[in-house]
């Protein structure tokens, strides 16, 4: 594989960052994931942290060096992350489980596969065209599809942040899966939280990402989203990848995996487990919470 990838997560104007973003790749497969902890539920950042760690660790277990069945992998990984969050809540004796939206994508063998729960989104651009976009699991999205509101009304609707599918909720998550989607050189895949796409809209997303090197486009688009959102800026996260199977051109921003040894991985997670834990806890409580996160994840890694 050959691709260019870049990720970034910012706190915006919120007191802390409940988003988590990561990517991980083997010689023949790439995983990207964004999780957005739900601020209305206690410890949303912990749900997002567990989701990202669970999915990336599952990838490291199964990408040997490619994923045998990407759709089945995504289904299992999301559901195990959901259960790990519930187990963490029980271990911590929380009144309600923390919750998180999530979107993840696997790229391998010139194909892409993705899944999501909630309103964290994936966009696929080819040339200057939006080729695919996930459908939000939200009441506002349903109202849009029924013609009850337009895009302007959706952006200002008081229920715009309410979703009916997530990880950690009382019901198993409703997951949507993509079809097996061919990738062509220069295609761009972007995964992001609603803190990015909501203030920008689809046109600005396309203008900022299509045909662009993610090393340059991601920081610029993050800056623009923060500027537009102003004082109401939510946490915002974005990981974008430009696919390129041609090895003729080599630049410092390219990742080339053809020389990677089998069963080796490179992983980049935007936040550490310690960053996910509330700073109001003591050091002993922080270490206990980290151990419980790891324990919840390990239970479903076997």
Domain borders along the chain are 2-299
Peptide bond into 107 cis (omega under 30): no
Tell me: the pLDDT tens digits for 156-190? 665 566 788 999 999 999 999 999 999 999 999 99
Q: Which two tokens stand for residue 59?
A: 């990838």
CA separation for the pair 300, 302 (Å, rounded): 6
From 165, 161, 56, 160, select the one nearest 100 (Cα to Cα). 165
Give the model's pLDDT for residue 273. 45
Give the model's pLDDT for residue 251. 53
Give the model's pLDDT for residue 281. 47
Q: Rounded to two decimals, what is the model's pTM?
A: 0.87
- Is the per-residue pLDDT at 75 higher than 90? yes
The CATH fold of domain 2-299: Phosphatase 2c; domain 1 (3.60.40)
């Amino acid at each position: 594989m050959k691709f260019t990838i870049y990720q970034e997560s910012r706190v915006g104007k919120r007191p802390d960052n409940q988003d988590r973003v990561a990517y991980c790749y083997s010689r023949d497969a790439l995983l990207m994931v964004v999780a957005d902890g739900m601020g209305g539920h206690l410890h949303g950042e912990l749900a997002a942290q567990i989701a990202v760690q669970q999915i990336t660790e599952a990838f490291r277990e199964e990408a040997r060096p490619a994923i045998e069945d990407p759709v089945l992998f995504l289904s299992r990984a999301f559901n195990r992350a959901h259960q790990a969050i519930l187990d963490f809540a029980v271990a911590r004796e929380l009144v309600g489980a923390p919750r998180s939206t999530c979107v993840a994508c696997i790229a391998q063998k010139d194909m892409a596969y993705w899944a999501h729960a909630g309103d964290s989104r994936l966009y696929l651009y080819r040339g200057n065209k939006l080729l695919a976009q996930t459908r939000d699991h939200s009441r506002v999205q349903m109202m849009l599809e029924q013609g009850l509101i337009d895009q302007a009304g959706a952006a200002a609707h008081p229920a715009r942040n309410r979703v009916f599918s997530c990880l950690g909720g009382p019901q198993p998550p409703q997951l949507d899966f993509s079809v097996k989607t061919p990738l062509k050189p220069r295609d761009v895949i972007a995964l992001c939280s609603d803190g990015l796409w909501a203030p920008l809209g689809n046109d600005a997303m396309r203008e900022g990402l299509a045909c662009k090197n993610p090393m340059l486009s991601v920081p610029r688009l993050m800056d623009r989203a923060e500027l537009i959102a102003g004082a109401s800026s939510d946490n915002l996260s974005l990981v974008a990848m430009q696919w390129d199977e041609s090895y003729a051109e080599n630049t410092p921003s390219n990742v080339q995996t053809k020389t990677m040894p089998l069963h080796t991985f490179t992983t980049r997670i935007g936040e550490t487990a310690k960053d996910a834990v509330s700073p109001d806890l003591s050091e002993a409580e922080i270490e206990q919470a980290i151990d419980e996160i790891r324990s919840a994840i390990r239970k479903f890694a076997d």
